[in-house]
Amino acid sequence: MSSQENGQVYGRVALIGLGLIASSMFWAMKRAGLAGEVTGYARSEETRATARKIGLCDRVCDSARDAVKDADLVVLCVPVGAMGPVMEEIAPVLKPGATVSDVGSVKRHVIEAVQPHIPEGVHFVPAHPLAGTEHSGPESGFAELFDNRWSLLVPVEGTDPAATARLRALWEGMGANVDEMDADHHDLVLAVTSHTPHLIAYTMVGVADDLRRVTDSEVIKYSAAGFRDFTRIAASDPTMWRDVFLTNKDATLEILGRFTEELFALQRAIRTGDGAHLHDYFTRTRAIRRGIIEAGQDTDAPDFGRVQKK
């Protein structure tokens, strides 16, 4: 019986980097029996020790090369700025016929950094799971993270369709909806849906921090729901987001320019007392929120579904 016939998609999967996404992938693969063995590697000795302690990965290795040896699938789960050097390091020991993928939220830069190091006979299928929390590290992962969330595959030109189909089967087995997208379009879409909103959240929290110094912590003490959600977004991993903005510069600046234009229009409406403009604008944007809920990508539960203290 082949591995795919007994539910396995890959015999051996190597996860390089053991944060939220990698740990969630491990638990999701184990939940569905999608991989025979999962190896893992993290640069930090402390992270490797934590992974071993909590049973994250079947085998935690002390080098990236050891982790990827004989792997059928290698997933780069490191910040996008580190992917090129990591790929260069592991390239000489990759198994012929293996697939290399990633989980970075920028795709054009990852392709340009990684593809030159892909050996002949190894497939490269970049990917991006649109799932996450504000938490990071090996202990933050959970099997349900990808359930009913989207994972975007961005196969490079000339990719073997069978390699893409196999990776699709893995993500679907982990609970995700899967779509394929061109790299540049992906980066523009994510600049709208993720990158620029994060930048705005970081900015708003930074402004509030300046105000807090003046108002003696009242901004923190009296935070309403809107500001609390800004702080949740702004709690995300700083290394990852630094790399995102440096590597998706053009698309982010384009969307930030459009945001600035919209903001000026709203400033003008407030200054001139143009209530009709404000009402029409808020009505249109409210409909987008309803669409997200109807698509099953969030909940309309009170307070975003948070468990309330008794």
Q: What is the average per-residue pLDDT within 38-67?
A: 97
pLDDT at 6: 66
CA 142 centroid distance within chain: 14
Confidence of residue 15 (pLDDT cuts 50, 70, 90): very high
Give the separation between CA 292 and CA 294, rounded to whole angstroms: 6
Q: Which strands make up the sheet holding 35-41, listed edge to edge? A: 59-60, 35-41, 10-16, 73-76, 99-102, 123-124
Q: What is the average per-residue pLDDT within 186-207?
A: 89
Q: Which of 81, 20, 74 is nearest to 51 (CA)?
A: 20
Those residues whose C-beta lies under 8 Å from the C-beta of residue 239, and which sit 6 or more positions away, are 79
Q: Which strands make up the sheet holding 127-129, listed edge to edge? A: 127-129, 150-153, 177-180
* Ramachandran area for residue 135 (φ above 0: left; ψ -120 to 50: alpha; else beta): beta
Per the CB < 8 A criterion, the answer to whether 101 and 73 are in contact is: yes
pLDDT at 238: 86
The domain limits of the chain are 10-181, 185-298
Give the separation between CA 113 and CA 278, rounded to whole angstroms: 44
Which is higher by pLDDT, 36 or 234? 36
Tokens of 14: 């190597």
Those residues whose C-beta lies under 8 Å from the C-beta of residue 261, and which sit 6 or more positions away, are none
Give the separation between CA 160 and CA 88, rounded to whole angstroms: 22
Give the separation between CA 301 and CA 310, rounded to whole angstroms: 17
Confidence of residue 302 (pLDDT cuts 50, 70, 90): low
What is the rounded average pLDDT for all residues in the chain? 90
Per the CB < 8 A criterion, the answer to whether 191 and 248 are in contact is: yes
Those residues whose C-beta lies under 8 Å from the C-beta of residue 167, and which sit 6 or more positions away, are 73, 99, 101, 125, 127, 153
Q: Would you say the CATH fold of 185-298 matches that of 10-181?
A: no
pTM of the model: 0.84
pLDDT, tens only, 148-172: 999 999 999 899 999 999 999 999 9
Q: Which CATH architecture has domain 10-181?
A: 3-Layer(aba) Sandwich (3.40)
Task: Give, in degrees to the nearest 5, the angle at Cα 89 between 159 and 136.
Answer: 85
pLDDT at 308 over 60: no
Give the separation between CA 78 and CA 150, rounded to whole angstroms: 20
CATH superfamily of the 185-298 domain: 6-phosphogluconate dehydrogenase C-terminal like domain (1.10.3660.10)
pLDDT, tens only, 228-262: 788 878 888 888 889 989 999 999 999 999 999 99
**Is the Cα torsion angle 224, 227, 232, 235 positive or negative in sign?**
negative
pLDDT at 2 over 70: no
pLDDT, tens only, 71-111: 999 999 999 999 999 999 999 999 999 999 999 999 999 99
